[in-house]
Every structure is written in structure tokens, then in C-alpha cells.
Amino acid sequence: MTPDDDLDDLRSALEQVTPKPDPATRAAHLRLAQENFDRLQGAAHAPRPSSERPRRGAWSGARDMMNAITLRGGLTATTALAACGFLVLTPAGRTLLLEPFERGEVSASDPAPALAATEEAVARPSDPLAPAPEEASLPQAKVATGDEDARSVQAAPDLAVQEEMPGDLSGAASAEVPEAEPLPDPIAPVWVLPPEEAEAAPRSPSADPEAFAPLPPAVGRLERRAAPAPGGLLSRGLVLAPRSMDSLAPLPTPSTESFANADPNPLKVTAEEPVSTFSIDVDTASYGVVRQSLLSGALPPPDAVRTEEMVNYFPYDYPAPEAGEGPFRPTVSVMTTPWNPDTRLVAIGLQGQRPAVEDRPPLNLVFLIDTSGSMDDPRKLPLLRQSFGLMVGELRPEDQVAIVAYAGSAGLVLPPTPASDREAILGALGGLTAGGSTNGQGGLEQAYDTARRMASEGEVSRVILATDGDFNVGLSDPEGLEDYVAQERESGVFLSVLGFGRGNLEDATMQALAQNGNGQAAYIDSLQEAQKVLVDQLSGEMFPIAQDVKVQVEWNSATIAEYRVIGYETRALRREDFANDRVDAGELGAGHSVTALYEVTLVDSPARLTEPLRYQPERVAQAGSDEWGLLRLRWKEPGGEQSQLFETPITGTEEAGSEAHFAAAVAGWAQILREGGPLGDWGHEDAIGLATANRGEDPFGYRTEAVRLMRLSQSLSQR
Amino acid sequence: MRMMASDEDLAKAAAQGDGAAFAALLERHYDRLFRLCFRLTGARAEAEDLCQDICAALPAKLRSWRGEARVTTWLWRVAVNAAHDRRRRRATYRKASDGWGDWEAARQADIADGRDRTDWLLAAMARLPEDLRDTMALVLDEVNHAEAGAILGVSEGTVSWRVSEAKKRLRALRATEEAR
């Protein structure tokens, strides 16, 4: 085969897999370009007075800034904000505000150059530092197309600041903006060139964004905002003035991209769009963030609240499947919507098989523990030791544990040891000390080797990687590492990832490892969370029972006029992806339960928001026309290739128990926190009442904790 | 008339503020732009985002078009640079990210990515080093080596070397894949 044939083959192969642009997206992009084009023309002719700033900017900028603050620092800073309001402008307040960023490479300690840059940018209209006004339209455009693609939306705040910052400069700057040119200006590094501008500039070293944007973009921008505060630019500081406590609630979000969230699902008209499809979600990260935020005395940022993750944090006591019935059992129940007596809430609960604890196969666990220098932190190695200690207590005598540490050179700290020998295991855990640099791959290889040696027929082997995510050595080939893990998964050894602490997380690597290793990943921030993840859910974390679980409901337009999925915005799937086995979806662990809620409006309900159409033929369902809809579930056996289908009608007569009512209370609360959803005057009081009444047994107090948090958020929102 | 006008004429008119010319120009090249974006990123969602970035910034960029290059050469350069920026932003962001929230967001994004990266070739392309990958995206899109060089700002010889290097690597990947 000649090289050119080769290339042609590639070319035609690539041709086949290259998709056509989606017509709607294409139209949206063309429209966006045209709008920007027109705006640019308009702006060139009629520059905006420099004192005017876009209305949306003031708040979104502040929010972005808050987004950029890491949790601890953010709380410090924002508490100061809440307490002092305008006093942010005082030196003390400023210091607090700046503190979190001084950790970054860009120093906030010298506001003068930033100030100078500001003035310079105003004074020099053609300065590329003042982004051309097309920046301003980006955020709207992102949101406009964001419905199908949550990531577009999540990108929006990132750009919002660009809209805001240039806003007060663009008046002067946009009069005539030739495209950005490399700017050999020593002041430039204080500014992060907007990426689009940077495109034209980066070839000159002084304008290379890499060189002066070592922080996440939002932090870099915040820098610019905070810096000019001294020097009498008082009006600039007013941006920080809170409109209300709510809107300035400290946002304990590590970065603008932390919270993938989309606008709340809109109302759908059954006659137009009868089918709703999404992937299950067993993640609970959102609840953790909400809890942290509330316990620190602030309402969580609305975007941090993912309703489905809040609802699914709690264990629910749905009926479990009978033996031989399949890996999980769906339970449909219907109730009057707590916040709207004229609509109904349909709760779909999936309960995973609970393998009898005594029947579970023996576990071979290899703790792969990161002992690099960065783990030397009270919230990392010591917490890790305690967490594993808790877990060891739950293991059975026939289980085996080995410990591999990795730092510098990987080492087997504890050879495979029966779980009954707790002394030895706890002793080895206690002897771990942090030091040296990390060698992720060497450690992984040794852990997998150990796990393979421990494995025997009918046992489950799993490597539990505990790290702060710092793979600073041996990461020359991340794909190699991923491939390695995926390959080991084929050999029957699974991988779970536990994250400890914050600070230097190689999120891409961790994420890839957990995914390829067929494992859950969890973030352990407290011993309580360790208890929940490692002990209470030991079986679920260790034994996946179904993967790629997708939910699809087809509503019957003869009975249901409108419906709305509550939550799952980031988990929506295209209708055609339901039956496409190559499309990935959520995994369900043993004993896990998942709840999805729909708010539906019956055709004869006074709450109906849309009128029936006059000229369109009323579509009459062929069979079972008094049914509300049909629930379809698809899942694969763990490791399986082909999905299986389960169907059951929703009749509307299924009585809801306390489990579904509690889920409804949490969903209502989440919607209050999200400030979205048609709740009317249904508020915290009602959510607390509903949740309290339906706490059920609550053996571990999770629901009681939720009620406590609800009360806390009630107080905070009344402030 | 617009249908007949050359890219260069349209671009000139657009640079002087002719909205219709701009629309015609972008309409004409959008599909190929999207295709290139897809090959640069390897995933539909990513390609759509990248395309949106480019479309949003294009009107301003057009002002800097001096007519020194073919419009398409210039446009592909804009696209390749925008892709670089996107990657760099992500990389910077990853380096600086300090929370599991980010990690979760990235995981979600990757789930979406994986959904799109359905083909071996795309996966393989994604594994190529960035410069080889960009070169291949262009060359496999019927851009000749000289033009690819102009777009990427390297010599024609470098492009040819990269192409053969990329082929070598793809073949090697294929071999390991099949051996497995």
C-alpha cells in the first residue's frame, strides 16, 4: 500500500464519521455572527458613552467573581461582603477580598499597574486590551443555543465578565477597533486577553495568554476588578454593592465551570413533544455543595443546585426486585403536586437489587494510596486513614485487603491480608506518611498486579484509589494510563476513585481513570461523608448492577396536556439515543435507588397553561387511552454490550407513599434554591412541613439533616 | 450576483460593512468550517461550541483581513487558532482547577464527548499530538500541503513531515488495537 492510498483511505473513513452540522445550530450560529456583525457596525458608528455599562453586567460580573473564589477563601471574602456591603472598599475589606487570589501566580498585591492599564485602555481606544464589542453578545448567544447543550450554558458565565468588563471601556474603545495586534506592553499581563482577541495576538511572547493567565479565567478577571478599587475609582467598586442578600450569597464555587447546570426544564406540551428521555444520575455532589454552603451561612449559588442530585442523595425505601426479576425495580407513584393542587406529581423510583449482605461475594480490595507530599494535610491523609479504618470495620473475615502506596517509587505497604486481621490493616494505614512526588502509573500497575494475585473465582476485585488528584510524575502519557485502566477492567479488576482535599486536582486524569475503570468516584470532605460512601453504601459502591440506565416516558396526549421533568437538565438525552446502545448513561450500584419526578397537567385541569389546538387532529392513543403514559427503561448488565428494555404503563392510580413525598419535598426545596420552577407561594415552610412529615425511618439521619438544612436556608433567605 | 461573487470580493465588501456580503460568505463556508471544527475537536458538541466561538468573533476578525491570503486560508487559520485557544483554556483551567466540582463537570463533559466520539479513527486522531492532529484535520480536508503550511504558520516541508509522522502513528495505533 502506498502512502497516498493510505491517506485516501483515511480521508474517506473520516468523511464517513464527520457529521453534518445540525440545522438549528447552524442557523443559530449564522444568526449570531450576523448579529455581531450588525452590532459591530452599529457600535462603530455610535459608541456607547463610557459611563454606561450593560445592565446585566453588574450582577453577573459579581457572581462570576464569586464563582471564582475557592470555597474557604470565598466564604471569608463574601462574609465580609455581606457584613460590610460597601465597606469592601475599605482596606480591610479589600484585603479579605483579595486574599484568596494571592495564592495564584498573578499577584493581587500591586493594584497600581492594573489601574494604569485600565486608564490606558480607556485613553487608547485602539488598544486591543479593550475587547471589541462583539464580546458583549457572546453570553446571550450561548444561552440562546444552550437548551440542548448544557455546556454552552455553563460557558456563559465565563463570558459574562467579558461583557461586563469591557462594558465600561467599550464606549471609547469600540469607536474604531482594528483587530488586536501584539502589544509589547509590560502592563498587559495584568489583563487576560479575551480568547478571541488572544487568537490574533499570541505569537508575541508578551501577549501570550499562557504567560499571564495561569489562573482559571474567572480568577484572572476578578483580579482586574478588585485591583482598581483604590485610587478613587469609587464607582467601579459599586459593582460589588449587593442588591440583596440573596443575590450576593457567597458562591462557594471553585470556578465558573464547576456547576454544569442548565435552565430548569421548560413545560412541554404533550401533543407536540410526547416523549421525554434522560439518563439516571446517582451522583450526589450537588447536595454536598449545598450543605457546605448552608453550613457556612450562605445560600448556595442557584447554579450549584442540581435538583436530581439533591433528590438522589437520600436513600429511598422503594420495593426491591424479587429474585430473578432483574437488577432493579421501578416504582411509579402519583400524588397531588405539593406546590400546585391542580397538577400531579409522578415519581418514578428505581430500586436496585439489594444483594443480601451475607450473600455477597468476597471482596478483594487494594487500597492504592497517594502518599505524595501534597497529601500532607489534615483533610487528606489523616482523613483518608480514618475513612479506610471505618470501612475495614465493615468488611467480613473472608475479604482481603492490600495496601499500595505511591510516592516516588510505588510500594506494597501491606501484602494481601484477611480483613479479620484488623490490627495489621489499621497498623499499616497508621504508618502511612506523606512525602515525595507522585508516580501514579507505577502505583496503579502494582495495585493491579496485587489485585490480580488476590483474585479467585467468584470474588470481586477492586482497586480503590485515594488521592488528591496529583499525578505530577509519570503523566507523560495520560491516554496510556487510561487505556491501561480500561484494559484492566476487562480483566475483571475494577477501579474506584476517592478524592480527598482540594488544591491540586488533576481532574481530567482522575475523571478519565474512574470512567475507564468502571467505578464510582466520590469526594470525601468529612468523616461523615466517608461513612456514607464507604460504609453505608459499601455494597453499592462495590458492585455495579446495571449500567447505561436510561429513562424514557411517552405521555398520552389524550390524558396529559402538559408535563415538566423536574431536574435532570444536564442529563437529558436525545430521543433517538434511548435505543442507541453506544450512548453512555448513568450506572446503578447494588442497593442504590434513583428517583425522577414529573409534574404533569391533566387535560381537564384548570392549571393547564396551553389551549388545545383547534385545527390539529386530536391524537387519540390507540390502546389504553385512559393511561397517562408509558415508562420505558433501558439498561445493560455490567460489562454487557446489549441493552434490555422494560416497559410499564403509568395509569395515574398509583398511590404515593412517604418515600415519594419526601422526594417531592426535596425537589420543591431544590427549586426554591434554584429560584426556578412554578412554585407560586409555596415556600420553605411548606417544604419543611412536607419533609418532616415524611422522614420515614431515616436510620442514618440523612433526612433529618435535610430538614435542618431546609430550616437553615429558610433563615438565610429571610435575612 | 452574490452567488457569483468570489470569496475575496465578498470578504472585502463585508470588511467594509456590507452585512449581506458577510452573510453570503459565512453561509457559503459554514459547512466546511463545521467539518474542520469537528476534525479539530473530534466531538460534535465540542465542534459546535468551537464553531459558535468562531462565528461570534468573526465579524471583528474580518476587519483585520487584509486580503493578503485567500479567504479560506484565513478562515481556516482563524479556526485552528480558535481551537488552540479552546484547548489552552481548558488546559490552563485544568491545571488551576481546585475542586471536585470541576472534576464532576469535566466528567459530564467527557460523557458527552464519548457519546460523540464513536469511531476509532476519531479516537485515534484525538490521541495524536496537537500539531499533528491539526495538520491532519486540514490535509484530510482537501487542503494542500502548501496551504496548510500557510494556515498553520509552518513550512510546506514541515506539513509533509507531520503528515507522514501522523500516518506512522495512526498505523501504530491501529496495530496495537488489532493486536489486542
CATH of the domain at B151: 1.10.10.10
Is 0.95 exceeded by the ipTM?
no
**How many whole angstroms separate alpha carbon B17 and alpha carbon A559?**
54
Residue A662 — pLDDT band, cuts 50, 70, 90?
very high
> Smallest Cβ distance to A511: which of B103, B153, B167?
B103
User: What does the pLDDT look like over A640-661, one tens digit per residue?
Assistant: 788 889 999 998 888 888 999 9
**B44–A132 C-beta distance less than 8 A:** no
Kindly list the residues from chain B whose CB atom is less than 8 angstroms away from the CB atom of residue A198.
85
Kindly list the residues from chain B whose CB atom is less than 8 angstroms away from the CB atom of residue A36.
55-60
**Alpha helices by DSSP H, A253-380:** 285-295, 307-312
Comparing alpha-carbon positions, the chain A residue that sits nearest to B168 is A3
Comparing alpha-carbon positions, the chain B residue that sits nearest to A9 is B140
**B103–A469 C-beta distance less than 8 A:** yes
Mean pLDDT of A623-639: 82
Positive or negative: CA dihedral A622, A623, A629, A630: negative
pLDDT at A250 over 80: no
Average pLDDT, chain A: 68
Do A346 and A361 fall into the same domain?
no
pLDDT at A157 over 60: no
How many CB pairs below 8 A link A and B?
A: 254
> Which of the given ranges, A188-192, A345-349, A442-446, B111-115, has the highest pLDDT on average?
A345-349
Calculate helix-pair angle for B120-127, B156-179, nearest 10 degrees.
120
Do B66 and B23 fall into the same domain?
yes
CA angle centred on B7, ends B5 and B13, rounded to 5° = 75
**B59–A37 C-beta distance less than 8 A:** yes
User: What does the pLDDT look like over A320-355, one tens digit per residue?
Assistant: 888 777 888 999 999 999 999 999 999 999 988 876
Kindly list the residues from chain B whose CB atom is less than 8 angstroms away from the CB atom of residue A26.
30-31, 34
What is the C-alpha R_g of chain A? 27
User: What does the pLDDT look like over B67-123, one tens digit per residue?
Assistant: 767 888 888 888 888 888 887 776 655 544 444 445 455 555 555 554 444 456 777
pLDDT at A392 over 90: no
User: Among residues 133-162 of chain A, which lie with CB inside 8 Å of chain B?
Assistant: 134, 137-138, 141-142, 145, 149-152, 154-155
Beta strands A460-467 and A493-500: pairing type? parallel
The pLDDT value given to residue A616: 64
The pLDDT value given to residue A240: 35
Do B3 and B20 fall into the same domain?
yes
Q: Of A180, A213, A248, which closes a domain? A: A248
Residue A434 φ/ψ, nearest 5 degrees: -90, 140
Kindly list the residues from chain A whose CB atom is less than 8 angstroms away from the CB atom of residue B16.
none
Do A555 and A688 fall into the same domain?
yes
Query: Which is more confident, A102 or A291?
Result: A291
Do B152 and B166 fall into the same domain?
yes
Mean pLDDT of A553-572: 88
Q: Of A213, A248, A283, which closes a domain? A: A248
Residue tagged 494535610 (cell numbers): A377
Do B33 and B85 fall into the same domain?
yes
Kindly list the residues from chain A whose CB atom is less than 8 angstroms away from the CB atom of residue B151.
none
**B81–A199 C-beta distance less than 8 A:** yes
Amino acid letter for position A476: S
Q: What is the CATH number of the domain that holds A514?
A: 3.40.50.410
The pLDDT value given to residue A47: 38
Positive or negative: CA dihedral B139, B145, B147, B148: positive
Q: Is residue A22 part of a domain?
A: no
Do A104 and A225 fall into the same domain?
yes
Do A513 and A553 fall into the same domain?
no
Do B165 and B81 fall into the same domain?
no
Do B100 and B155 fall into the same domain?
no
Mean pLDDT of A61-76: 47
pLDDT at A105 over 60: no
Residue tagged 397537567 (cell numbers): A601
Asked if A171 contacts A49 with a C-beta cutoff of 8 angstroms, the reply is yes
Asked if A664 contacts A578 with a C-beta cutoff of 8 angstroms, the reply is no
For residue A513 the three cell numbers come to 481513570
Q: Is residue A255 part of a domain?
A: no
Do B7 and B86 fall into the same domain?
yes
For residue A154 the three cell numbers come to 455553563
Asked if A219 contacts A104 with a C-beta cutoff of 8 angstroms, the reply is yes
Kindly list the residues from chain B whose CB atom is less than 8 angstroms away from the CB atom of residue A71.
99
Mean pLDDT of B51-77: 82
The pLDDT value given to residue A512: 62
Do B97 and B35 fall into the same domain?
yes
The pLDDT value given to residue A509: 61
User: Among residues 501-530 of chain A, which lie with CB inside 8 Å of chain B?
Assistant: 502-508, 510-512, 514-515, 521, 523
Who's near A92: CB < 8 A, 6+ residues apart? Answer: A80
Residue A290 — pLDDT band, cuts 50, 70, 90?
confident
**How many whole angstroms separate alpha carbon A648 and alpha carbon A72?**
48
**B49–A155 C-beta distance less than 8 A:** yes
**How many whole angstroms separate alpha carbon A222 and alpha carbon A365?**
45
Mean pLDDT of A409-429: 84
Do A309 and A382 fall into the same domain?
no
Mean pLDDT of A33-37: 85
**Alpha helices by DSSP H, A46-133:** 55-68, 71-84, 91-98, 111-123
Side-chain-side CA neighbours of A119 within 13 Å: the count stands at 11
On the 0-12 / 13-18 / 19+ scale of CB atoms within 10 A, A705 is: middle
Do B98 and B167 fall into the same domain?
no
Comparing alpha-carbon positions, the chain A residue that sits nearest to B143 is A11
Residue tagged 415556600 (cell numbers): A683
pLDDT at B40 over 60: yes
pTM of the model: 0.47
The pLDDT value given to residue A667: 94
Do A601 and A624 fall into the same domain?
yes
User: What does the pLDDT look like over A582-627, one tens digit per residue?
Assistant: 777 777 877 788 899 999 999 888 888 887 776 766 555 555 578 8
Q: Is residue A303 part of a domain?
A: yes
Do B68 and B152 fall into the same domain?
no
Q: State which residues form the domain around A115.
A: 40-248
Q: What is the CATH number of the domain that holds B14?
A: 1.10.1740.10
Do A512 and A599 fall into the same domain?
no
> Smallest Cβ distance to B93: which of A13, A257, A584?
A257
The pLDDT value given to residue A519: 61
Residue tagged 506523606 (cell numbers): A434
User: Among residues 45-104 of chain B, which lie with CB inside 8 Å of chain A?
Assistant: 45, 48-49, 51-53, 55-61, 63-64, 78, 81-82, 84-86, 88-89, 92-104
Q: Of A479, A499, A533, which closes a domain? A: A533
Q: Of B85, B117, B149, which closes a domain? A: B117
The pLDDT value given to residue A98: 45
The pLDDT value given to residue A61: 45
- Tally of domains within chain A: 3
User: Among residues 227-266 of chain A, which lie with CB inside 8 Å of chain B?
Assistant: 253-255, 257-260
pLDDT at A687 over 90: yes
CA A239 to each of CA A58, A66, A83, A119, B141: distance values in angstroms, whole numbers, following the listed order: 6, 13, 16, 18, 48
**How many whole angstroms separate alpha carbon A705 and alpha carbon A335?**
24
Q: State which residues form the domain around B106.
A: 1-117
Who's near A568: CB < 8 A, 6+ residues apart? Answer: A265, A278, A279, A281, A307, A308, A596
Residue A672 — pLDDT band, cuts 50, 70, 90?
very high
What is the C-alpha R_g of chain B? 18
Comparing alpha-carbon positions, the chain B residue that sits nearest to A480 is B127
Q: Which residue, among B51, B52, B161, B168, would best test binding to A if mutated, counting the most A CBs under 10 Å from its CB? A: B52
Do A304 and A421 fall into the same domain?
no
Who's near A479: CB < 8 A, 6+ residues apart? Answer: B127
Amino acid letter for position A171: G
Amino acid letter for position A226: A
Do A708 and A576 fall into the same domain?
yes
Q: Which residue, among B26, B51, B55, would best test binding to A if mutated, counting the most A CBs under 10 Å from its CB? A: B55
Q: Of B67, B94, B117, which closes a domain? A: B117
Q: Say yes or no: B16 contacts chain A, CB-CB below 8 A.
A: no
Do B82 and B113 fall into the same domain?
yes
For residue A28 the three cell numbers come to 443559530
Mean pLDDT of A667-687: 88
Residue A663 — pLDDT band, cuts 50, 70, 90?
very high
Which range (A85-99, A121-135, A379-393) has the least confidence?
A: A121-135
Do A234 and A367 fall into the same domain?
no
- Tally of domains within chain B: 2
Mean pLDDT of A40-55: 46
**B26–A30 C-beta distance less than 8 A:** yes
Q: Is residue A11 part of a domain?
A: no
Residue A232 — pLDDT band, cuts 50, 70, 90?
very low
User: What does the pLDDT look like over A518-557, one tens digit per residue?
Assistant: 666 667 777 777 777 777 666 655 677 887 889 999 998 8
Asked if B65 contacts B11 with a C-beta cutoff of 8 angstroms, the reply is yes
CA B75 to each of CA A40, A569, B80: distance values in angstroms, whole numbers, following the listed order: 19, 35, 9
Residue tagged 448513568 (cell numbers): A586
**A254–B99 C-beta distance less than 8 A:** yes
The pLDDT value given to residue A121: 39
Do B15 and B104 fall into the same domain?
yes
Mean pLDDT of A207-234: 36
**How many whole angstroms separate alpha carbon B123 and alpha carbon A71?**
36
For residue A565, the surrounding DSSP H or E stretch is: strand A560-566
User: Among residues 457-476 of chain A, which lie with CB inside 8 Å of chain B?
Assistant: 469
The pLDDT value given to residue A517: 65
User: Among residues 85-114 of chain A, which lie with CB inside 8 Å of chain B?
Assistant: 104
Q: Is residue A21 part of a domain?
A: no
Do A704 and A565 fall into the same domain?
yes
Residue A629 φ/ψ, nearest 5 degrees: 180, -175
The number of beta carbons lying within 10 Å of the beta carbon of residue A453 is 14
pLDDT at B31 over 70: yes
pLDDT at B38 over 60: yes
